[in-house]
Structure 1
Amino acid sequence: MNFADSASLVGQKVQGLFSVEKGGQKIADVVIIKGSTYAPVRAISEAAGVSLTVEGKKIIVEETSGTVSTSAPTAQTVDEKLIALKAKAESTSKEIEKVKATIQFYDEKVFPKDEKAISMAASEAMKQIEIQRSEENKAAYEKYKQQLADLQASLVEINAQIAELQK
């Protein structure tokens, strides 16, 4: 990819966010834009055991004798982390909105329908079936509420990481 190709990616929508692992340990997040994967070069090179140096607009990767570079992250890797975190924040926000809509659906449609079905049951057996269904709906509802709380906590953590990188 040449510079002109990469410049055309500015402002493009991130289509996916994936985690790269080595030996069960997360080493980096990568993003998918226009069907191509973009990864932080330094993190990948360090995990592969190769050295990386930057000279102007040129990144030089060389094999090492098993040593891993511990140099401070460059502005580019910080920018890459910010892009990945912002994409993750956007994705998490969208998931929060979906879960909120599901909770609202339960509040406005499912629970009133359950109450009506219980009150209109023709027999005690039917009433017990409707009560059971209502209890299952309440359990599902509670799972959605817990999922919402978890997503909101995750978003707070992501936003804190973004704020830390922007310092």
Structure 2
Amino acid sequence: MKKALTLCLLILLLSSTAVIYADSKSLIGRTIKSEAAVTLNGKDIGQALIIDGVSYAPVRVIAEASGLEVGYKKGEVILTTETDVTIDKQAADIEPVSIEAMQKEKKRLEIESQTLSNYINDADKVIAIHKDALSKVDDTLKETYEEMIDKAEEEKAGYQRRLAEIESRLAKIEVALSASNK
């Protein structure tokens, strides 16, 4: 989420820069038409100025609220992250992200993994119950029970595929976290 917000803010800032450059007139002397609150996750973090229908938000306030460091050098605003972990993409197959983001993703995947394991166990129980019932019902209901067994087996296979994907992703996150601790 933080990465997406940062990207949106950068796009906003770049588009504002393009408008300023395209206009080629200085903002000096222009009239501020109004101000607008800038909020992040419902929290007021500053004010944006509205000049000729374009909002100009405070870069430093937005960037720092998004976890970026802000610098200025010779007419250039420089945004950097301090917690990025650069890892071997081939080894871990994930983009550089913050350690905190990887830990959150790991926790989320562990919960999803446990949930899928429970679904697989439940599917096994359903399949067993339907197979037991299949041996006891008359021929008119056998097709219905066979369809229910097939459906439960398909669902179980889907859960198993997703669980394998999650376990692979968790292993990659572990590699990345281990690399960041070195």
TM-score bin (small chain): 0.5 to 0.7
Aligned length: 117
CA gap 1:77/1:18 in 2 versus in 1, 3 angstroms: closer
CA gap 1:165/1:120 in 2 versus in 1, 3 angstroms: same
Does 2:67 correspond to 1:40? yes
TM-score normalised according to structure 2 size: 0.53
- Give unpaired runs (5+ residues) of structure 2: 9-40, 44-64, 86-96
Distance 2:136 2:42 in 1: 54
What percentage of residue pairs aligned between the two structures are identical?
15
Q: How much does 1:112 deviate?
A: 1.4
Q: How much does 1:39 deviate?
A: 3.4
Q: Which residue of 2 aligns with 1:105?
A: 122
Does 2:135 correspond to 1:119? yes
Displaced runs of 4 or more, over 6 A: 60-63
Please say if residues 40 and 77 of structure 1, whose CA atoms lie closer than 8 Å, have aligned partners that are also in contact. Answer: no
Please say if residues 123 and 155 of structure 2, whose CA atoms lie closer than 8 Å, have aligned partners that are also in contact. Answer: no
Q: Which residue of 1 aligns with 2:25?
A: none
Does 2:166 correspond to 1:139? no
Rg comparison, structure with higher value:
2
Distance 1:40 1:139 in 2: 44
1:85 equivalent among 74, 77, 102: 102
Q: How much does 1:157 deviate?
A: 1.1
Paired amino acid for 2:118: A
Q: How much does 1:100 deviate?
A: 0.7
CA gap 1:85/1:129 in 2 versus in 1, 3 angstroms: same
1:156 equivalent among 167, 171, 174: 171
Q: How much does 1:40 deviate?
A: 3.1
- Give unpaired runs (5+ residues) of structure 1: 1-16, 24-33, 43-51, 54-59
Distance 1:126 1:77 in 2: 59
Please say if residues 114 and 134 of structure 1, whose CA atoms lie closer than 8 Å, have aligned partners that are also in contact. Answer: yes
